[in-house]
């Protein structure tokens, strides 16, 4: 298939596909007519990249998954490098969750303190 069809089927743009090509994530194959050509495996690569980006992975973090698929594995997350990226991402998420929980606790304490005090001001229906 040509680049326009691949972009449409993958739900992206031809510009994005060309960018992935320059980054080495999408193979650059050309037909005899000089047009870029793609197949179902390329569509599978793009779907893997898209799914990972939806999960919050940056483009470079998708590389091990793409390489795993290119190596002939049916799933991009069955290789050691892919598993290592998953582990790093989970650790990042755990750290972020911890930070958010700490902020939530602080805000909850501030709210409880503010509600326990006598109101210092009344807006009386006036806007800010």
Predicted confidence (pLDDT) per residue in 51-72, tens digit: 999 999 999 999 999 999 999 9
Quick: pLDDT tens for 27-53: 888 888 988 999 999 999 999 999 999
pLDDT at residue 128 greater than cutoff 60: no
Class assignment of domain 3-114?
mainly alpha
Q: What is the pTM of this model?
A: 0.77
Domain segments of the chain as ranges: 3-114
Phi first, then psi, for residue 123 (nearest 5°) are -80, -25
């Amino acid at each position: 298939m040509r680049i326009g069809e691949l972009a449409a089927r993958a739900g992206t743009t031809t510009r994005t596909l060309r960018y992935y090509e320059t980054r080495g994530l999408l193979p650059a194959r050309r037909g005899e007519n000089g047009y870029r050509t793609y197949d179902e495996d390329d569509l599978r690569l793009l779907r893997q990249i898209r799914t990972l980006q939806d999960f919050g992975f940056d483009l470079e973090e998708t590389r091990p998954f793409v390489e795993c698929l290119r190596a002939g594995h049916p799933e991009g997350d069955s290789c050691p490098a892919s598993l290592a990226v998953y582990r790093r991402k989970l650790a990042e998420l755990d750290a972020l969750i911890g930070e958010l929980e700490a902020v939530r606790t602080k805000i909850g304490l501030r709210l409880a303190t503010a509600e326990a005090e006598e109101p210092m001001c009344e807006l009386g229906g006036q806007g800010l």
